[in-house]
Amino acid sequence: MATLFIDVLRSYVLGGKFKIFEFVVMPNHVHLLLTVPGGMTIEKAVQLVKGNFSYRAKKEFGLRGEIWQTGFSDVRITDRESYLSHVEYIRDNPIKAGLTAVAEDYPFCSAHLRRLKRSTNNS
C-alpha cells in the first residue's frame, strides 16, 4: 500500500501538478512537504492524491469503504528555519515510531529514495 501511495505521488510530480521536497508514509498517516504552482491550492493537491490513491487501492487491492479520514492538517512554511524544522520532523517520524534507526533505511520515505538515487548515480 505504501508503494502504491508513493507511485501516486510520483505520477503527480512527473505530471507537474506539484513538487515534493520530503515525504514519509507511515503505517497510519503520511507527511508531505510540497509546493503547489499558481492556480492550484494545497486543498486541491491533497484531494488529487487522496482520490487517486483511494481509487487505485480499491481497484488494485479490492478495498471497500473509506480509506481516508475527512480533511487534513496543513502548515504553511514561511522561512528557512521553519522549512528545516519540518524536514527534520518528517525524516525523524519513522525513527520516533521505532520503525527504523536511520531514516534512509525506512523504505517509504524521500530520504530512502534519495539514497537509492545517489547509489545508482555513483555506480
pLDDT at 88 over 90: yes
The tally of domains found in the chain comes to 1
> Whole domain around residue 98: which residue ranges?
2-121
How many CB atoms are located within 10 Å of the residue 3 CB?
A: 10
Give the pLDDT band of residue 10 (cuts 50, 70, 90). Answer: very high
Phi, psi (deg, nearest 5) at residue 70: -70, 140
pLDDT at 85 over 90: yes
Alpha-carbon torsion (45, 39, 113, 101), positive or negative: negative
Task: Pick the range with the lowest mean pLDDT from 2-16, 71-85, 108-122.
Answer: 108-122
Using alpha carbons, select from 45, 27, 28, 26 the residue that is nearest to residue 36. 45
CATH number at residue 75: 3.30.70.1290
pLDDT at 100 over 80: yes
Which residues, 6+ apart, have CB-to-CB distance to 79 below 8 Å?
A: none
pLDDT of residue 123: 67
